[in-house]
Structure 1
Amino acid sequence: MKERQPRKFVFGSKIDVSKTNMAASSVAGGSGTFIGFDFSTQQIKAVVIDDRLNVVQEAHVQLDSDLPEYRTHGGVYIHEDRKTVTSPTIMWVKGLDMLMDRLRVKGVDISAIKGLSGTAQQHGTVYWKKGARDLLKSLDPDRYLHEQLFDAFAIRESPIWMDSSTTAFCKEFEEKLGSPQRVADITGARAFERASGMQIGKIYHTMPDAYMATERISLVSSFACSLFLGDYAPIDTGDGSGMNLLDIHQKDWSAECLDAVAPDLREKLGEVEYASKCLGHIAPYFVERYSFDPQ
Structure 2
Amino acid sequence: MSARLVGLDVGTSSLKGLVLSEEGRVLAQASRDYPVATPRPGWAEQDPELWWEAAQAVLAELDAPRADAIGLAGQMHGLVALDAGGRSLRPAILWNDARTGAQCAEIERRVGVERLVALTGNRALAGFTAPKLLWMAEHEPDLHARIASILLPKDYVRLRLTGEHASDVADLSGTLLLDVAARDWSAELLDALSIPREWLPRVLESAEVSGVAFTGGSDSLAGGSARHDRSGGVPVAAGAGDQAAGAVGVGALGSGGPLSLVLGTSGVVFGGEDAYRFDPDGRVHAFCHALPGTWHTMGVVLSAGGALAWLQQALGDASIEALLQEAAAVAPGADGVLFAPYLAGERTPHPDPDVRGGFVGLSLQHGRGQLVRAVLEGVAFALRESLLLVDPQRTRTVARVSGGGARSPLWLEIVAAVLDLPLELCAVTEAAAQGAALLGGVAAGLFPDVHTAARATVRLERTVTPRRDWVETYGPLAARYAELYPALHPLAGSRERGSLTRPG
Regarding TM over 0.5, the answer is yes
**Alignment partner for residue 192 of structure 2, among 234, 247, 260?**
260
Are the counterparts in 2 of residues 123 and 161 from structure 1 also a CA contact under 8 Å? yes
Are the counterparts in 1 of residues 48 and 153 from structure 2 also a CA contact under 8 Å? no
Give the aligned partner of residue 27 of structure 1. Answer: none
**Alignment partner for residue 119 of structure 1, among 73, 81, 99?**
73
In 2: Cα distance, 1:162 partner to 1:197 partner: 14
**What's the CA shift string for 1:105-143, capped at 9, x where partnerless?**
xxx4x45310111310111121121122xxxxxxxxxxx
In 2: Cα distance, 1:159 partner to 1:196 partner: 8
- Matched AA of 2:38: I
For residues 132-211 of structure 1, the aligned pairs below 5 Å read 132=86, 152-155=87-90, 157-177=91-111, 179-211=112-144
Are the counterparts in 1 of residues 160 and 220 from structure 2 also a CA contact under 8 Å? no
CA shift in 2, pair 1:286/1:129, >3 Å:
farther
Are the counterparts in 1 of residues 162 and 220 from structure 2 also a CA contact under 8 Å? no
Give the aligned partner of residue 79 of structure 1. Answer: 39
Give the aligned partner of residue 19 of structure 2. Answer: 48
**What's the CA shift string for 1:64-88, capped at 9, x where partnerless?**
xxxxxxxxxxx211232x2221111
Are the counterparts in 1 of residues 177 and 190 from structure 2 also a CA contact under 8 Å? yes
CA shift in 2, pair 1:169/1:118, >3 Å:
same
**Alignment partner for residue 164 of structure 2, among 227, 231, 235?**
231
For residues 30-49 of structure 1, the aligned pairs below 5 Å read 31-49=2-20
Superposition deviation, residue 261 in structure 1: 2.5
Is 1:102 aligned with 2:61?
A: yes
RMSD: 2.2
In 2: Cα distance, 1:55 partner to 1:121 partner: 22
Give the aligned partner of residue 68 of structure 1. Answer: none
CA shift in 2, pair 1:252/1:289, >3 Å:
closer
CA shift in 2, pair 1:34/1:263, >3 Å:
closer
- Matched AA of 1:166: T
In 2: Cα distance, 1:153 partner to 1:52 partner: 39
**What's the CA shift string for 1:191-246, capped at 9, x where partnerless?**
111111111221122212212212210011222222221232x2211111111111
Give the match's secondary structure for 1:281. Answer: strand
Give the match's secondary structure for 1:214. Answer: coil
**What's the CA shift string for 1:164-196, capped at 9, x where partnerless?**
11110111111111x211211111112111111
Are the counterparts in 2 of residues 46 and 58 from structure 1 also a CA contact under 8 Å? yes
Superposition deviation, residue 286 in structure 1: 5.3
- Matched AA of 1:96: A
Give the match's secondary structure for 2:7. Answer: strand
In 1: Cα distance, 2:79 partner to 2:115 partner: 24
In 2: Cα distance, 1:261 partner to 1:242 partner: 16
Are the counterparts in 1 of residues 5 and 22 from structure 2 also a CA contact under 8 Å? yes
Mark the runs of 5 or more structure 1 residues left unpaired by the alignment. 1-29, 64-74, 133-151
- Matched AA of 2:15: I
In 2: Cα distance, 1:286 partner to 1:128 partner: 26
- Matched AA of 2:201: G
In 2: Cα distance, 1:190 partner to 1:49 partner: 37
Is 1:284 aligned with 2:215?
A: yes
In 1: Cα distance, 2:126 partner to 2:48 partner: 21
**Alignment partner for residue 206 of structure 2, among 272, 275, 285?**
275
TM-score (norm 2): 0.42
- Matched AA of 2:19: V
Are the counterparts in 1 of residues 7 and 18 from structure 2 also a CA contact under 8 Å? yes
Total equivalences in the alignment: 225
**What's the CA shift string for 1:39-88, capped at 9, x where partnerless?**
1011111111222221111111122xxxxxxxxxxx211232x2221111
**Alignment partner for residue 49 of structure 2, among 71, 85, 90?**
90
Superposition deviation, residue 97 in structure 1: 2.6
In 1: Cα distance, 2:208 partner to 2:220 partner: 26
In 1: Cα distance, 2:220 partner to 2:160 partner: 14
Give the aligned partner of residue 144 of structure 1. Answer: none
- Whose RCO is larger (CA < 8 A, sep 6+)? 1
In 2: Cα distance, 1:294 partner to 1:182 partner: 44
Superposition deviation, residue 287 in structure 1: 4.6
- Matched AA of 1:238: A
Are the counterparts in 1 of residues 84 and 147 from structure 2 also a CA contact under 8 Å? yes
Mark the runs of 5 or more structure 2 residues left unpaired by the alignment. 222-231, 235-504
In 2: Cα distance, 1:182 partner to 1:288 partner: 46
Give the match's secondary structure for 1:78. Answer: coil
Are the counterparts in 2 of residues 183 and 190 from structure 1 also a CA contact under 8 Å? yes
In 2: Cα distance, 1:245 partner to 1:257 partner: 6
Q: Percent identity among equivalent residues?
A: 24
Runs (4+) of structure 1 exceeding 6 A deviation are none
Superposition deviation, residue 280 in structure 1: 2.9
Superposition deviation, residue 285 in structure 1: 4.5
TM-score (norm 1): 0.70
